[in-house]
Amino acid sequence: MRVTVHGTGYVGLVTGACLAEVGNHVTCVDIDENKVASLRRGQVPIYEPGLEDIVRRNAEAGRLQFTTDVAAGVRHGPFQFIAVGTPKDEDGSADLTHVLAVARAVAQAMDDYKVIVTKSTVPVGTADRVQAAVAEVLARRDTKPAFDVVSNPEFLKEGAAVGDFMKPDRIIVGSASARATQMLRGLYEPFSRNHDQVIVMDVRSAELTKYAANAMLATKISFMNELANLAEICGADIESVRIGIGSDPRIGFEFIYPGCGYGGSCFPKDVSALVRSAEERDFRMELVGAVESVNDRQKRVLFAKIQRFFDGNLRGRTIALWGLAFKPNTDDMREASSSVLMEQAWAAGARVRAYDPKARDEARRIHGERPDLVLCSSAYEAIEGADVLAIVTEWQEFRSPDFDLLREKLARRAIFDGRNIYDPAMVQNMGLQYFGIGRDRSVVTR
């Protein structure tokens, strides 16, 4: 099939590349000339395991092409996927400026039937606005080609997006058109060979399903972080509690790992947008609103532990920081807990020596060159001259470090584990003080 994807960001590029991988002919459209030029050279602007190989392979095979020409993309085929950004607006709502701009651009160039698919994460009712925007442009052009607007939200995890797309657990299609539904079933048939993963529903339900999924997962994380904070007060170990409740199949182990807060491009933005969407309808989502505030507070917990360790005076201290990305296997630092920790440390007069396997360039882009930040090329370079170590991202290479070297290099011989990746007793037996999330039951010795 012939597919056009508008937007070559995270969702658009993964969608276009994976659709091409199964034999479709895909054109990806973006208004950023530099990005398109880079993609034509096989340079992928984001880090996502397996994505670069798929992009290059399908571009070389002629199944995947990139252009800034919107009209050419519209002429390319019947499927017009909208996969542009919906950033958080000042009031917390999703900004639909780019989505509606693409809808109007498609309408300006179309002269035959199109299935306009909203892949971007959008509030309930967005498809109606896309429908109206397209109809308005067509009326001005005095032309009436048929079209349908369909909701097809993405459920891609950063760091595992290619696998999620190629082997989805569900494919949500919100549609009021039998014709469009049948066409999307055909498009996704190669991804649901074992059983039919396509779930068809009305458009508004599909739009809400995406927000509901992310809000549910964010709720589990914030709930566990609340329990972790209580565990410290009560003298309990949250890891034991986690295993105890996760063994209940009604709860399970997914997304019940306490830590120093969630980040990324989805959970913070989508939780905020869901709350705002409810407010616009005079409904207050108290639980979801609390999820957001708990997470904001949790991002400050690790620094509070470090500050307490130094009796409130961090001036002149150096913190080694392992992990900058909001999660492993990505270079994405949007809403990352690492940025909150570093900003707090700098405000207190401390320096940071940071290492991340993939996000060093992104950190430099966000925070720039500054004397109180050293971006290191290895984990052990980061601990040189450091007083303590803080772990914010649970990259695999951090899980079994040289504790003898850490004891030798860290002036204050303390580890602040924001993801609970170490066993406290083992770390303490190695001659290091350990402070995790929901596990600090011992008195701090200095």
Tokens of 122: 């959008």
Dihedral over alpha carbons 139, 144, 146, 147 (to 10 degrees):
-20
Distance CA 3, CA 7 (A): 13
Residue 279's Cβ-count burial label (10 Å; 0-12, 13-18, 19+) is middle
Q: Which residue has the tokens 């399908």?
A: 58
The candidate with the shortest Cα–Cα distance to 11, out of 202, 219, 266, is: 266
Q: Taking the CB of residue 389, how many other CB atoms lie within 10 A of it?
A: 25
* Alpha helices for 142-237 (secondary structure H): 161-166, 178-188, 203-234
The residues carrying an active-site annotation are 266
Contacts by 132-137 with C-beta closer than 8 Å and gap 24+?
133/100, 133/103, 133/104, 133/107, 134/103, 134/104, 134/106, 134/107, 135/107, 136/104, 136/107, 137/104, 137/107, 137/108
* Rg (alpha carbons) of the chain, rounded to whole number: 24
Largest CA distance in the chain: 78
Q: What angle do CA 344, 345, 348 make, to 5 degrees?
A: 90
